[in-house]
């Protein structure tokens, strides 16, 4: 949350929030440096009586003031682009929350556990009811999220365009009616994080705050499963009517499903039987084993013969081996002399392959350098996040498994 007389961004509360904060500091450093440098010389030139009347040109100066801004722009742009893409990357989240904007409140939906949909509305607490807490930011039902777990946020709207934003976590997603936008979230620690609707949506636009409460994975998982169980229990009660027609439909459906299941299993069985017992062995025998077998037999026989010869007369056999190797080398020389075109092609293709390999190697080095350049957090932070997220993922799955078993 922003505080009075605060300069700069809020303290980062998510993995990418910290990175964005780093980018901000880094950009401000470059910008202030450039601004003060240019400002100083501007003032100096304006206030100076020494005007260069005889000064005509300087190639070096022009070169420098062309190249230098280019490098500064690159240094500002590359980390920014990388972060932009990282923020869009939602790979394998463990849990999903869906925020639906309304005029003028938010609805939060949790629907990826147990196939039920648990949802609630989140209204701002008016001044008259506020007991402590922050004015215009506190809500009646907070959006609960786990800390240090990969999360996906889906944002949409029911009426006009809203925007779901939490500045300290670098989250801002438009909620557009008729479409769903997604964002990745990974909160660093437990806490309460505030934001406000960030797209003008009508008269009460300022009074639909976003309040996210980040809790530990254990609390979150048990809480969400409890709520889902309640929703499911409510759903079970409704469906208790029984008719002959319903029974008939259910029986026909079950029979159809089992016929389909048995048929598809049978087809799959035949397919794999054919594939592994006929196609693969035949293919293997025809394409590979014949050549390999021939070569193996020939070379084994030759080597066996030579060993026999070596045991009878070692000197002669060694001499022959030397002659044989020399002959091969000579053959290579003859190949170069008699068919130079082929030899050149062989050499050039070798060199080309070498260049390609060198290129890909240099690219990976460049990529590694860029990676280290554009991450504003150190390795210990990365390690901490990776370790905790892995641990929490295991905890999350373990609790779900445990609860499924024991109800
Ligand atoms: Cu709004």
Identify whether residues 40 and 104 lie together within a single domain: no
Measured between alpha carbons, how far is 183 from 174 in angstroms, rounded to an integer? 10
Distance 38 CA to ligand 1 centre (A): 42
Q: Is 169 part of any domain?
A: yes
Contact 152, 173 (CB under 8 A): no
User: What's the pLDDT at 229?
Assistant: 82
Residue 65 lies in domain: 15-47+58-88
Measured between alpha carbons, how far is 196 from 315 in angstroms, rounded to an integer? 92
Cα–Cα nearest to 94, from 217, 228, 231, 226 = 217
User: What's the pLDDT at 94?
Assistant: 87
Identify whether residues 68 and 101 lie together within a single domain: no
Identify whether residues 117 and 234 lie together within a single domain: yes
Q: Is 348 part of any domain?
A: no
User: What's the pLDDT at 118?
Assistant: 87
Measured between alpha carbons, how far is 324 from 306 in angstroms, rounded to an integer? 12
Identify whether residues 177 and 115 lie together within a single domain: yes
Contact 83, 23 (CB under 8 A): yes
As residues whose CB is below 5 A from the ion ligand 1, the structure lists 162, 197, 201
Q: Is 218 part of any domain?
A: yes
Distance 155 CA to ligand 1 centre (A): 12
User: What's the pLDDT at 372?
Assistant: 57
Distance 99 CA to ligand 1 centre (A): 12
Measured between alpha carbons, how far is 91 from 94 in angstroms, rounded to an integer? 9
Distance 121 CA to ligand 1 centre (A): 14
Distance 256 CA to ligand 1 centre (A): 49
Q: Is 309 part of any domain?
A: no
SS3 track for 134-172: CCCCCECCCEEEEECCCEEEEEEECCCCEEEEEHHHCEE
Identify whether residues 75 and 206 lie together within a single domain: no
Measured between alpha carbons, how far is 200 from 90 in angstroms, rounded to an integer? 27
Q: List, run by run, the mean pLDDT of 10-residue segments along the chain (407 residues).
A: 81 89 89 93 83 79 89 86 86 89 92 78 90 88 92 93 93 93 92 93 93 93 86 69 84 93 88 79 76 86 89 87 87 85 89 90 75 73 91 91 80
| Total of domains in the chain | 2
CA torsion 390-147-92-367 (nearest 10°) is: -70
Distance 174 CA to ligand 1 centre (A): 9
Identify whether residues 102 and 221 lie together within a single domain: yes
* Residues contacting 185, CB < 8 A, separation 6+: 14, 145, 151, 152, 153, 169, 171
Distance 175 CA to ligand 1 centre (A): 9
User: What's the pLDDT at 199?
Assistant: 93
3-state secondary structure of 14: strand
Q: Of the candidates 213, 238, 263, which is a domain's last residue? A: 238
Identify whether residues 62 and 179 lie together within a single domain: no
Identify whether residues 79 and 170 lie together within a single domain: no
ω into 104 cis (within 30 of 0): yes
User: 203-218: string of b/e by CB count within 10 Å (b at 16+)?
Assistant: eebeebbbbbbbbebe
Q: Which helix (H) or strand (E) holds 98?
A: strand 95-102
Distance 173 CA to ligand 1 centre (A): 11
Tokens of 294: 């021939």
Q: Which helix (H) or strand (E) holds 118?
A: strand 118-122
User: What's the pLDDT at 237?
Assistant: 64
Cα-to-chain-centroid distance, residue 96: 16
Identify whether residues 113 and 29 lie together within a single domain: no
User: What's the pLDDT at 132?
Assistant: 82
The complex scores an ipTM of 0.94
Identify whether residues 100 and 232 lie together within a single domain: yes
Beta pairing class for 105-110 and 151-157? unpaired
Q: Is 266 part of any domain?
A: no
């Amino acid at each position: 949350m922003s505080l009075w007389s605060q300069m700069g961004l809020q303290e980062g509360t998510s993995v990418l929030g910290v990175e964005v904060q780093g980018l901000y500091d880094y950009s401000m450093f470059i910008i202030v440096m450039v601004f003060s440098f240019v400002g100083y010389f501007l003032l100096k030139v304006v206030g100076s009586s020494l005007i260069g009347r005889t000064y005509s040109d300087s190639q070096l100066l022009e070169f420098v003031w062309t190249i230098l801004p280019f490098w500064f722009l690159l240094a500002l742009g590359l980390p920014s682009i990388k972060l932009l893409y990282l923020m869009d990357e939602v790979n394998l989240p463990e849990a999903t929350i869906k925020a639906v904007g309304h005029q003028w409140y938010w609805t939060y939906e949790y629907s990826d556990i147990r196939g039920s949909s648990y949802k609630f509305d989140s209204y701002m607490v008016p001044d008259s009811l506020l007991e402590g807490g922050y004015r215009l930011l506190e809500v009646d039902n907070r959006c609960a999220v786990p800390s240090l777990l990969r999360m996906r946020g889906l944002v949409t709207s029911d009426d006009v365009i809203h925007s779901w934003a939490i500045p300290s976590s670098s989250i801002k997603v438009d909620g557009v009616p008729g479409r769903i936008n997604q964002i990745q979230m990974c909160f660093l620690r437990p806490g309460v994080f505030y934001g406000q609707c960030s797209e003008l949506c009508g008269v009460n636009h300022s009074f639909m705050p976003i309040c996210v409460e980040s809790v530990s994975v254990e609390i979150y998982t048990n809480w969400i499963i409890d709520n889902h169980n309640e929703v499911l229990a409510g759903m079970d009660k409704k469906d208790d009517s029984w008719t002959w027609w319903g029974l008939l439909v259910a029986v026909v459906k079950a029979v159809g499903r089992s016929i389909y299941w048995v048929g598809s299993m049978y087809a799959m069985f035949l397919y794999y039987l054919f594939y592994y017992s006929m196609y693969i062995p035949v293919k293997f025998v025809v394409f590979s084993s014949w050549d390999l077998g021939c070569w193996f037999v020939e070379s084994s026989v030759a080597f066996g013969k030579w060993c026999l010869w070596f045991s009878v007369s070692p000197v002669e056999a060694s001499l022959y081996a030397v002659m044989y190797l020399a002959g091969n080398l000579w053959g290579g020389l003859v190949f170069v002399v008699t068919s130079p075109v082929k030899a050149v092609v062989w050499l050039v293709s070798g060199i080309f392959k070498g260049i390609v390999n060198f290129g890909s190697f240099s690219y990976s080095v460049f990529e590694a350098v860029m990676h280290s350049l554009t991450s504003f957090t150190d390795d210990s932070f990365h390690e901490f996040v990776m370790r905790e997220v892995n641990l929490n993922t295991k905890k999350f799955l373990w609790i779900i498994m445990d609860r499924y078993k024991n109800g």
